[in-house]
Structure 1
Amino acid sequence: MIKKLALIVIIVLSLSACQSESSESAEELLQKDWSEIEESAKGTTVRMYMWGGDDGINRYMDEFVAPRLKEEHDITLERVPMDTNEILQKLFNEKKAGKEKGTIDVIWINGENFKNAKDNELLVGPFTEKLPNVQKYVESESLDIQYDFGTEVEGLEAPWGKVQFVYFYDEEKIADPPKSFGELKAWVKENPGRFTYPEAADFTGNAFLRHLLYEEVASPDELLESGFNEDLLESGEENLWSYLRDIKPYLWREGKTYPSDLTELDRLYNQGEVWMTFGYNEARAESLIKNGNFPKSTKSFIMDSGSIGNTHFLAVPFNSPNKAGAMASINYLLSPEAQLMKYDSTYWGENIALDPGKLSEEDKAKMESMDRGASVLPPEELAEKNLPEVDAKYVNWIKEHWINEVVKTD
């Protein structure tokens, strides 16, 4: 009899857990108080699908976030590595097929991917107004929080972090790094085979090309003011393509092939085949130096013309089986504890999504005392040279034209 009762209890608890992850609609959930949402999240599993190409980021999630979510909120976090465009394709197919219960609870997203997700109604929201840490610590009136690559956020995603595009180089090989695209062209020609960039379909490769777009086609202010402007592109695009065709023969492997992504570019830098790499996150080299993946002599620089700053976000898919758990997890990821550990270069090193002025005095002091490492530029220099992102349509335009204008030319 006792064994039967125990079995019944186990079955009831299992069914209860399943129900908490699947039966509630987004509309019903968003009507609840936060305490009820948090209670519903306890004892559940959250599957977070995200880009997995950075070891420091992966270790931050696996070694810091996951244990604390389990300990402090009784949530089991499963990190699933997948490129964002593949995540969106999966969600789009499920939406088309009417699949109301999927497998993804949280996605890391921004830019054109967010625009596509919003346009195709793939996300739950608005949900950010329910998160206590957004209300308490995020400067919601800031334009980089309200807009994502020109697309209005409208509560469909919560800011997770802020990064800035920087170049990394080996100071034992490069004494004086270039500070303009004119100097970069000259340097590339003087050092054939020692520079390249990822293809335009890659997030980082496209960012490098957008900097050149600002330089050769139109200023960020002009591009921001007019949105996606084909007239501007037509009047200046030849400058962009001419620059890239001009340096092509002097690139790694004479420009006959390009790294497919940032991971491959980093590998080439580590092996000494190229002498520079780059990317969003001004502090990402620190963990790579400590792990032996980058030379200890790695330093960073930005162009005098500036570098693009980028805010990235977290969202909940329309068919998340555990929306309460997803929201509770995102709220934790926006806590000062999680954000300050992300700021520390031990794992990730990127800037926080929170307003530093809203932190407690203790957390402010903790942030100010952190040594982000010798490869990280001073925050004042980064802030002075920060450039905005522009309409996500420019990302697609670069992708579509780069192949014909650069890759397929002799």
Structure 2
Amino acid sequence: MKTYPLAALGTLGIILSACSSEDAGNATNADSLLAADWDAIQDTAQGQVVNMYMWGGSDNINNYLDEWVAPRIKQDYGIELNRVPMNDAQDIINQLLDEKIAGKTEGSMDIIWINGENFKAAKDNDLLWGDFTGQLPNFNDYVDADAPEVSEDFGEPVEGLEAPWGKAQFVLVHDENQYEDPPKSMSELADWVKQNPGQFTYPAPPDFTGSAFIRQVLYETTGGHEQYQQPAADIGNLEERLEPMWQYLNSIEPYLWREGETYPESLAKQDQLYASGEIAMTMSYDPALAASEVLKGRFPESTRTYVLEEGTLANTHFLSIPFNASDKAGALVAINELLSPAAQTAKLSPENWGDLTALDLEKLSPEQQQAMNEVDLGEATLSIEELEQNRLPELSSDYIDIIEEGWTEYVAKE
């Protein structure tokens, strides 16, 4: 992801210096919220309309926001939460960049859902409001701010600029009635793919899940994740280290669905292939997605998920407030409510979303822990304990473009 070129930054400085004193006053008033009493923040938020910009490709997630969250925030705080669907988080960043260059101080976005490379781009270009998480009572009461998965986002220090909303982990999905003992390593997967031609594929990057599958291959074919827990620029022989990954992907390509001549353009397309029986396996960075699809009748009831023996990629996704959000008080209250034990417990259910909680279970009361433990994750979902025991840290965001561009050059074009 690119930051502003110097010329654009110079133009931006001229534009911002021309802001009216009234705009400056508004900015000062907004910044005062970062030190305000929480009751005062709630009073200010009354009657505000909070626009939440986010990826809109999941019916489950959309319904959770529209039918569970929004009515409660309206009733309890007098805030209207308006979900604005976007095709990709990159579109959110691009719009904020445009607004900053144009000097737009009263933006249309109040909350944005981002993580990883999009967070780094937003942070590098000063597109986020400020260090706000310490103002949130539910963050202070229920989140372990020092946990690595909370304090860093794909290797980038969070510094209070975004609040954790949930956790995700890469899983593989299969029908146990067809294959009771699925491959548990990339080596076993390669053998399985060759023995079952046409039954496996993965979404083409830049699809997030397809890119995650490639990063999973990277870890297992090049000697583990530890070596990549540093900036890509610090690895002098990175191209050489990545070579076993390209060799692996090219070795299985002739045995993939449609002989690897084409790849699903998205996880949704891949899931359709699995649901229709064209392929025997799919994958997800949402460990409860399969259970949700079973509930909807889209996936066979015998669908199960699993992790690899050496673990799978895991990350945290976050909510942030843009630099020019018009209703920052309302955004603070809404994010705080999304971090409440009640909202996080409802989010955990596959009937709503199935997203893993961002809260530290040890900080919950016994009653809150019991409520979360009683959520039926479905037979297709692994236990939280098993997932936690097999988490691997994500790459820092500067690797993502390198890997995705490399896949186009060394795999797709081969």
TM-score under structure 1 length normalisation: 0.91
Q: Distance in 2 between matches of 1:233 and 1:215?
A: 16
Partner of 1:32: 36
Partner of 1:65: 69
Whether 1:100 aligns to 2:105 is yes
The counterpart of 1:113, out of the listed 113, 118, 124, is 118
1:355 to partner: Cα distance: 0.7
- Residues 228, 394 of structure 1: 8 Å contact kept: no
- Residues 228, 391 of structure 1: 8 Å contact kept: no
The counterpart of 2:83, out of the listed 79, 86, 95, is 79
The counterpart of 1:206, out of the listed 211, 222, 238, is 211
Between 1:83-92 and 1:214-223, the stretch displaced more is: 214-223
1:70 to partner: Cα distance: 0.9
- Residues 56, 288 of structure 1: 8 Å contact kept: no
Partner of 1:195: 200
1:228 to partner: Cα distance: 4.8
- Deviation string 1:77-99 (CA, Å, 9 cap, x unpaired) is 11111110011011111111111
The counterpart of 1:270, out of the listed 275, 284, 291, is 275
Q: Distance in 2 between matches of 1:143 and 1:380?
A: 18
Q: Distance in 2 between matches of 1:55 and 1:184?
A: 31
Partner of 2:17: none
> Which amino acid letter does the alignment assign opposite residue 295 of structure 2?
K
Per the alignment, in what secondary structure is the counterpart of residue 184 of structure 1? helix
Q: Which runs of 5+ in 2 are unaligned?
A: 1-21
Per the alignment, in what secondary structure is the counterpart of residue 173 of structure 2? strand
- Residues 204, 264 of structure 2: 8 Å contact kept: yes
Partner of 1:52: 56
> Which amino acid letter does the alignment assign opposite residue 41 of structure 2?
I
1:74 to partner: Cα distance: 1.1
The counterpart of 2:47, out of the listed 43, 47, 59, is 43
**Percent sequence identity over matched residues?**
49
- Residues 227, 390 of structure 1: 8 Å contact kept: no
Per the alignment, in what secondary structure is the counterpart of residue 301 of structure 2? coil
- Residues 177, 302 of structure 2: 8 Å contact kept: yes
Distance 1:79 1:227, change over 3 A: same
1:243 to partner: Cα distance: 0.7
- Residues 229, 396 of structure 2: 8 Å contact kept: yes
Q: Distance in 2 between matches of 1:57 and 1:383?
A: 23
Between 1:30-39 and 1:237-246, the stretch displaced more is: 30-39
1:376 to partner: Cα distance: 1.1
Q: How does 1:251-330 map to 2 (within 5 A)?
A: 251-330=256-335
Distance 1:233 1:24, change over 3 A: closer
Q: CA RMSD in A?
A: 1.6
The counterpart of 2:361, out of the listed 334, 356, 362, is 356
1:289 to partner: Cα distance: 0.8
Whether 1:141 aligns to 2:146 is yes
The counterpart of 1:155, out of the listed 140, 154, 160, is 160
Per the alignment, in what secondary structure is the counterpart of residue 231 of structure 1? coil
Q: Distance in 1 between matches of 2:57 and 2:134?
A: 31
1:407 to partner: Cα distance: 0.3
1:227 to partner: Cα distance: 5.6
- Deviation string 1:201-232 (CA, Å, 9 cap, x unpaired) is 11111111111111122421121156654335
Per the alignment, in what secondary structure is the counterpart of residue 212 of structure 2? helix
Q: Distance in 2 between matches of 1:334 and 1:379?
A: 18
Distance 1:318 1:225, change over 3 A: closer
Per the alignment, in what secondary structure is the counterpart of residue 268 of structure 2? helix
Per the alignment, in what secondary structure is the counterpart of residue 161 of structure 1? strand
Q: Distance in 1 between matches of 2:383 and 2:249?
A: 30
1:330 to partner: Cα distance: 0.3
Per the alignment, in what secondary structure is the counterpart of residue 262 of structure 2? coil
- Residues 231, 396 of structure 2: 8 Å contact kept: no
Number of residue pairs the alignment of both structures matches = 389
Between 1:149-158 and 1:245-254, the stretch displaced more is: 245-254
Per the alignment, in what secondary structure is the counterpart of residue 48 of structure 1? strand
- Deviation string 1:168-198 (CA, Å, 9 cap, x unpaired) is 1112222221011111111111222211111
- Deviation string 1:376-401 (CA, Å, 9 cap, x unpaired) is 11233222211111211111111111
- Residues 218, 236 of structure 1: 8 Å contact kept: no
Q: Distance in 1 between matches of 2:57 and 2:298?
A: 14
Partner of 1:7: none
- Residues 54, 263 of structure 1: 8 Å contact kept: no
- Deviation string 1:306-329 (CA, Å, 9 cap, x unpaired) is 111111100011111111111110
Q: Distance in 2 between matches of 1:164 and 1:374?
A: 17
- Residues 165, 278 of structure 1: 8 Å contact kept: yes
Q: Distance in 2 between matches of 1:327 and 1:260?
A: 36
Q: Distance in 2 between matches of 1:380 and 1:135?
A: 24
The counterpart of 1:130, out of the listed 129, 135, 157, is 135
Distance 1:340 1:228, change over 3 A: farther
- Residues 110, 331 of structure 2: 8 Å contact kept: yes
Partner of 2:18: none
- Deviation string 1:94-136 (CA, Å, 9 cap, x unpaired) is 1111111111111111101000000000001111111111111
Q: Distance in 1 between matches of 2:236 and 2:219?
A: 15
Whether 1:339 aligns to 2:344 is yes
Per the alignment, in what secondary structure is the counterpart of residue 405 of structure 1? helix
Q: Distance in 2 between matches of 1:320 and 1:97?
A: 15
Partner of 1:15: none
1:154 to partner: Cα distance: 0.4
